[in-house]
Amino acid sequence: MTPNTDGTLTVLGQQLNTRQVEDLMHQLAQARNQMQPPVQPEVTADTPVLVQHDADFGIAQTQTPERNVSLGLRHLGFGWIFFTFSRDRAKFIGEALLQKSKG
């Protein structure tokens, strides 16, 4: 798909602006979540992936009693996607990233 010269995108004959495309992507993701088979639990050699190099990120602590940690990653096509983890899981992810960054 290629955007129109006015910055919109035509999908199934309907012209969508950027906000409408974002809304459609969210709706598609919610629908995909309900479909079978589910998304593979592990990444394999044949798993289709999109890579965003040096993504912007944001980290926040939730305002719930559990004080979970939210990690947001910015993809230039998908926008911001946030994931929430328990503090233990967040610590594990941080340690894994540090270990991989050492070479």
Sequence letter at residue 58: G
Instruction: State the Cα–Cα distance between residues 83 and 71, nearest whole angstrom.
Output: 5
Question: What sign for the dihedral angle of Cα 14, 20, 21, 24?
Answer: negative
- Are 56 and 38 contained in the same domain? no
Question: What's the rounded Cα separation, in Å, for the pair 87 and 7?
Answer: 41
- Tell me, yes or no, whether 64 and 28 share the same domain: no
Q: Give me the pLDDT at residue 2, please.
A: 86
Question: Quick one: pLDDT at residue 18?
Answer: 94
pLDDT tens digit string along 31-72?
999 999 999 999 999 999 999 999 999 999 999 899 999 999
Work out how many domains the chain is built from and give that number. Answer: 2
For the entire predicted model, the pTM comes to: 0.80
Residue 103 pLDDT: 73
Q: Do 36 and 56 belong together in one domain?
A: no
Q: 74 lies in which domain range?
A: 50-103
